[in-house]
Amino acid sequence: MIFGKIEYLNLLPFHVFMKRYTRSSQQAQSLHYKRGVPSQINESFKTRRVDAAFISSIASASCNCLDLGISAKKEVKSVLLIPGINKLDNESATSNVLAKVLGLEGEVIIGDKALKYYLQNKDEESIDLASLWYEKQRLPFVFARFCYHGKSKKYKKLSNKFLRKSHKLPQYILENSSQRTGISKNDILKYLELIEYKLDAHALLSLKRFLRLAKQL
């Protein structure tokens, strides 16, 4: 299996889980990663260069997907709009569209760099797009879904195991992630408390509404 890997902090628990899930040498040898930012992984999935990945919500409408994804009930802190000159984030797909759906103008920034910006500039004006979506819709926002090509059985098994487990991160993983991003271990843990991986009925309703609004742009 070729898996599309996005190395943002919001997927850190899933990547740790995958290391444990593929401990046997046979599983490890059959798993390969293609790394990239969300917009790149979307394209790789579309062209079948990866078998499974977390796909941006806006690109997932016609894909085979599970009720596993990345969502935020209210604020997320890693998807921001800085008011001013319009500038899209070339790493993003969903968040760029979300800003338009919300009728906002400014610079969109996502991922670890957005979280770092938020933590360093709390007193400056920026808009948390997930928080604003919640204010308007009273629903969580879904940023990505786990999608796959081929038969679903092995992916459903993987998804169910991930969603059933708690995901305590080893200290060395936290330390490495902190050094890589420049974000403290404590702030990483606080951030991950905002992320939901199980897409429940409210999340799926929100996703459906977002895709409908996006089509109207």
pLDDT digits (tens, 9 = 90+) for 10-50: 999 999 999 888 775 455 556 789 999 999 999 999 999 99
Its CATH class, for the domain covering 2-207, is alpha beta
> How high is the pLDDT of residue 167?
84
pLDDT digits (tens, 9 = 90+) for 123-160: 678 999 999 999 999 999 999 999 999 999 999 999 99
Record the tokens describing residue 154, joined without a space. 């092995």
**Percent of the chain's residues with pLDDT above 90:** 84
Buried/exposed code over 123-157 (b: 16+ C-beta within 10 A; e: otherwise):
eeebbbbbbbbbeeeebbbbbbbbbbeeeeeebee
Q: Three-class SS of residue 5?
A: strand
The pTM of this model reads 0.92
Segment among 5-9, 68-72, 123-127, 152-156 with least mean pLDDT: 123-127
Domain locations along the chain: 2-207
CA distance 99 to 14: 27
CA distance 143 to 73: 11
